[in-house]
């Protein structure tokens, strides 16, 4: 089986599983407990915070551990909301955990604006500039598109916002953290979301980087863990496994290797003139369409051939259409034909080449059936 849906989730490092077991079975103590074992575990998860801050190259700020990206994104959106005549700005390319939070803000009577996407998948920076004003409370834009791999210019976005407003800036960095090199020191943003299972850590754990906690309010009420910003006993085993995975990844090396894998896949697929690809800066995600072939049908047929791909975000597969590709201006026929291929740095070139040839073979057979 060749797994090419790494944007949905990645295989957990086996060593990280061992780290998880260590803190689930041996050092299983509650970090809120007063006795020595609990205090030692608390020190361990505080070390995990430092590890993430260092990888983000943030310099300062805090890490709030959560159950994953969806919770982190909701905490950033609703935790930064304030009463009054404010407006909130999001892009049309956001993951459902941000986009649907934005729609909920709108349903509650708040003024919400959506920035369109350019044909290359990045946001329309000029439109963003026209929407930001002194009443803007929050601007939320993802770093890398989970659908196309388009990379938004976060530094440019922060400069646009800071020039016109004191608004807070949130970035969903799920498809970027531990995949591309960047420094939060250069971005000048307030919140950044990460998710462990996107970089070979466990599911069910993530984090929100917060530059200044005074700009955030809790949205979960309980025992006051995470300095009262996220109540609920911390997932210590998940946090420590995430820390382990984070510290093993060489971002630059992985980027270079994955870029070679993506280029290899493109070279195989583009042998057929019916194939169209969406050019993107991220080597981890490739959006592809085969003219005349339904993307979902192709993805299902490939399962029987031992190749796993997807038709888009695993968090929105039950919904018709594709909001991101539609907003990029793609025709309906191309949208229906689109699939997403996503890589990780630990794959072999032979598997990539083999998978590409199988994808082409399956697509050709399906095309013939529809003639």
**Domain end (from 184, 214, 248):** 248
Judged against a pLDDT cut of 70, whether residue 26 lies above it is answered with yes
* Statement to judge: residues 211 and 320 lie in one domain: no
- What pLDDT score was predicted for residue 369? 73
Mean pLDDT to the nearest integer, 188-209: 98
* pLDDT 10s digits, 44-63: 999 999 999 999 999 999 99
For residues 311 and 328, state if they share a domain. Answer: yes
Among residues of the chain, what percentage have pLDDT more than 90? 95
The predicted structure's pLDDT at residue 316:
47
Q: pTM above the 0.85 mark?
A: yes
Asked whether the CA dihedral 158, 161, 167, 173 is positive or negative, the reply is negative
| Residues 225, 184 share a domain | yes
- Out of 44, 60, 315, 362, the active site residue is 315
Same domain? For 207 and 62 the reply is yes
* Angle subtended by helix axes 349-369 and 251-269, to nearest 10: 30
pLDDT (tens digit per residue) in 253-303: 999 999 999 999 999 999 999 999 999 999 999 999 999 999 999 999 999
Q: Would the pLDDT of 337 be above 50?
A: yes
| Whether pLDDT at 370 is above 90 | no
The pLDDT of residue 368: 80
155 in the same domain as 120: yes
Instruction: Express as a percent the part of the chain with pLDDT over 70.
Output: 97
Kindly list the strands in the beta sheet with 285-290, ordered across the sheet, starting from the edge strand earlier in the chain: 275-278, 285-290, 338-342
Does residue 371 carry a pLDDT above 80?
A: no
**Together in a domain, 232 and 176:** yes
Residue 17's pLDDT is what? 98
- For residues 19 and 100, membership in a common domain is answered with yes
Task: Flag whether pLDDT at 327 surpasses 50.
Answer: yes
CA nearest 188: which of 80, 58, 53, 79?
58
Domain end position, chosen among 221, 248, 275: 248
The residue-averaged pLDDT of 126-151 equals 98
User: What's the pLDDT score for residue 321?
Assistant: 64
pLDDT tops 50 at residue 195: yes
Q: Is the pLDDT of residue 202 over 80?
A: yes
**Whether residue 263 is found in the same domain as residue 135:** no
Domain span at 349 = 2-9+251-369
Asked whether the predicted pLDDT for residue 313 surpasses 80, the reply is no
Average pLDDT over the chain, rounded to an integer? 95
Number of domains observed in the structure of the chain: 2
Same domain membership, residue 324 and residue 175: no
Give yes or no for residue 304 having a pLDDT over 70: yes
312: domain CATH number is: 3.90.1150.10
Same domain? For 223 and 301 the reply is no
pLDDT at 168 over 80: yes
The answer to whether residue 174 scores a pLDDT higher than 60 is yes
Angle (CA) 330 140 251, round 5° = 85
Residue 296's region, left for phi above 0, alpha for psi from -120 to 50, else beta, is alpha
d(CA 63, CA 205): 13
Same domain, 204 and 88: yes
**Token pair listed for 327:** 């907003």
Say yes or no to pLDDT of 314 above 70: no
Query: Active-site residue 315, yes or no?
Result: yes
* Average pLDDT, integer, range 129-155: 98
CB atoms within 10 A of CB 43: 11
Residue where a domain terminates, one of 192, 220, 248 = 248
Among candidate residues 212, 246, 204, the one with its CA nearest the CA of residue 229:
212
């Amino acid at each position: 089986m060749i797994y090419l849906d790494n944007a949905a989730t990645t295989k957990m490092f086996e060593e990280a599983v061992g780290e998880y077991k260590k803190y689930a079975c041996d050092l299983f103590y509650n970090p809120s407990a007063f006795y020595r074992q609990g205090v030692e575990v608390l020190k361990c998860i505080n070390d995990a915070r430092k590890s993430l801050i260092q990888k983000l190259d943030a310099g300062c700020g805090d890490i709030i551990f959560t159950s994953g990206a969806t919770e982190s994104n909701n905490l950033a959106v609703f935790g930064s909301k304030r009463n009054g005549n404010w407006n909130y700005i999001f892009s049309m390319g956001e993951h459902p955990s941000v986009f649907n939070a934005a729609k909920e803000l709108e349903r509650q009577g708040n003024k919400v604006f959506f920035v369109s996407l350019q044909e290359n998948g990045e946001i329309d920076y000029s439109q963003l500039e026209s929407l930001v004003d002194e009443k803007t409370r929050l601007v939320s834009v993802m770093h890398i598109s989970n659908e196309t791999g388009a990379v938004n210019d976060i530094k440019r976005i922060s400069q646009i916002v800071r020039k016109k407003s004191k608004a807070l800036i949130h970035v969903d960095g799920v498809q970027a953290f531990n995949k591309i090199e960047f420094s939060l020191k250069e971005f000048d943003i307030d919140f950044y979301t990460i998710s462990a299972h996107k970089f070979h850590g466990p599911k069910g754990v993530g984090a929100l980087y917060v530059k200044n906690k005074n700009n955030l309010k809790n949205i979960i009420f309980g025992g006051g863990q995470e300095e009262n910003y996220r109540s609920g006993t911390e997932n210590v085993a998940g946090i420590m496994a995430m820390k382990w995975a984070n510290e093993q990844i060489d971002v630059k090396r992985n980027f270079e290797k994955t870029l070679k894998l993506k280029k290899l896949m493109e070279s195989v697929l583009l042998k057929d003139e019916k194939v169209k690809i969406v050019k993107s800066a991220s080597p981890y995600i490739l959006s592809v369409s085969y003219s005349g072939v339904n993307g979902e049908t192709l993805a299902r047929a490939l399962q029987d051939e031992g190749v796993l791909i997807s038709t888009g975000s695993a968090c929105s597969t039950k919904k018709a259409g594709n909001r991101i590709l539609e907003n990029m201006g793609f025709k309906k026929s191309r949208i229906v034909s689109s699939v997403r291929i996503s890589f990780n740095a630990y794959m072999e070139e032979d598997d990539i080449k083999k998978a590409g040839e199988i994808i082409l073979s399956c697509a050709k057979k399906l095309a013939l059936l529809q003639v």
